[in-house]
Structure 1
Amino acid sequence: MSIRHGLLALLEPGARYGSRLRTEFEKRTGGTWPLNVGQVYTTLGRLERDGLVVQDGVDDADRVLYALTDAGRAELRAWFARPVERASPPRDELAIKLAMAVGAPGVDVREVVGVQRRHVAEALHDYVRQRAEALARTHEHPEETARLLVLEQLVFHAEAESRWLDICEARLLRLNRAGE
């Protein structure tokens, strides 16, 4: 998720100060993507520079409030309207690790796959547990829906990684047999 656009979305209902934005961002994403408050204020500074937010006074505790500008609202609507680009996928450390392990002397690639498989199984178990908890709370706390969506995405990614590891292991076994 774009931190820049996430902060714009959190400002849509009204002016907020930086640490409140941080708390709301982490709550909305189920704590999956923690932010440090410095990152929030750096991003707010850039948004202000770009004319998407303005400082809008201070609250009772003398904290600077930030509010969306009309340009910020337009940028937010445009972000919601366009798809997330898939043309240049992000670098995946696991894919790079396995690609490098294949040609590395003394590395048992199947062991690398096994270690990752155990790790993803533990993560998947944890995500499924958290998803069940969030699902149980959505009836009384509709704001849990945002967290639930993030957790479901994490479950699906972990399941996909597990399937991909199965394919990698099968391919490595075939290549090993062919080389014997």
Structure 2
Amino acid sequence: MSIRQGLLALLSQQPMYGAQLRAEFEDRTAGTWPLNVGQVYTTLGRLQRDGFVESAGEPDEEGRITYRLTDVGRTTVGEWFASSVSPDADPRDELTIKVALGVTLPDVDVRSVVQTQRVDSMRHLQVLTRRKRAAVEKDDLARELVLERSIFAIEAQVRWLDHMESRIRRSHRRTTTPAAEENAR
């Protein structure tokens, strides 16, 4: 998801200044994508330059500028919600890159990389599950949905780690001689 689209969506509710947008974004997404306030203001500057937002008046007594959507910005928000998101939207996946490189380098114990990740993923899954329970108790549907998405992603990652470990083991057996395999035991 683009920060740009997220900020526009929040501004479709009401005019806000940068720190408000940051707080609302993090609160409504259960803190899954923390934003730097400088990043928010840089994005707002570009949105203003491109005609999607405008100043909602003079800066307040603390010098904060409140932004509101323009008609073009409001149309863009509607188009964003009406469109699908490509499954290829995530530009990079560090774990996949780490494993792909690891299996090609001779001094990397990829099985250890996989096990370390599995332990951390399971720990993270427990944290997310506790947070989800708290969201359910508070009847916070937005937070619950975001946390469920994260839980499903971690569960899928653990399944992939299991699969990958099996593939690495099978590949290792094919490239290892029976005598070397016996010595490894």
Q: CA deviation at 1:10?
A: 0.8
Which of 145, 151, 154 is the matching residue for 2:147? 151
Where do 1:43-58 residues align within 5 Å?
43-57=43-57, 58=59
Q: CA deviation at 1:87?
A: 4.7
Which sits farther off after the overlay, 6-15 or 66-75? Answer: 6-15
Label 1:89 to 1:42 Cα distance change in 2 as closer, same or farther (>3 A). Answer: closer
Percent identity over paired residues? 52
Label 1:155 to 1:75 Cα distance change in 2 as closer, same or farther (>3 A). Answer: same
Name the residue aligned to 2:162: 166
Where do 1:122-141 residues align within 5 Å?
122-138=123-139
Name the residue aligned to 1:16: 16
The answer to whether structure 1 residue 98 and structure 2 residue 99 are counterparts is yes
Q: Which amino acid aligns with 1:95?
A: T
Which sits farther off after the overlay, 11-20 or 158-167? Answer: 11-20
Distance 1:17 1:76 in 2: 18
Task: Give the root-mean-square deviation of aligned CA atoms.
Answer: 1.4
Label 1:4 to 1:89 Cα distance change in 2 as closer, same or farther (>3 A). Answer: closer
Label 1:70 to 1:154 Cα distance change in 2 as closer, same or farther (>3 A). Answer: same
Q: CA deviation at 1:62?
A: 4.3
Q: CA deviation at 1:90?
A: 2.1
The answer to whether structure 1 residue 179 and structure 2 residue 180 are counterparts is no
Name the residue aligned to 2:32: 32
Q: Which amino acid aligns with 1:10?
A: L
Q: If the length of structure 2 is used for normalisation, what is the TM-score?
A: 0.90
Q: CA deviation at 1:61?
A: 4.4
The answer to whether structure 1 residue 71 and structure 2 residue 72 are counterparts is yes
Distance 1:5 1:88 in 2: 14
Q: CA deviation at 1:108?
A: 1.3
| Shift >6 Å, 4+ stretches | none
Q: Which amino acid aligns with 1:156?
A: F
Residue deviations 1:134-159 (CA, integer Å, cap 9, x gap): 11111xxxxx2211111111100000
The answer to whether structure 1 residue 6 and structure 2 residue 13 are counterparts is no
Label 1:87 to 1:20 Cα distance change in 2 as closer, same or farther (>3 A). Answer: closer
Unaligned ranges ≥5, structure 1: 139-143
**Count of aligned pairs between the two proteins:** 175
The answer to whether structure 1 residue 116 and structure 2 residue 117 are counterparts is yes
- Indicate the structure (1 or 2) with the bigger Cα radius of gyration: 2
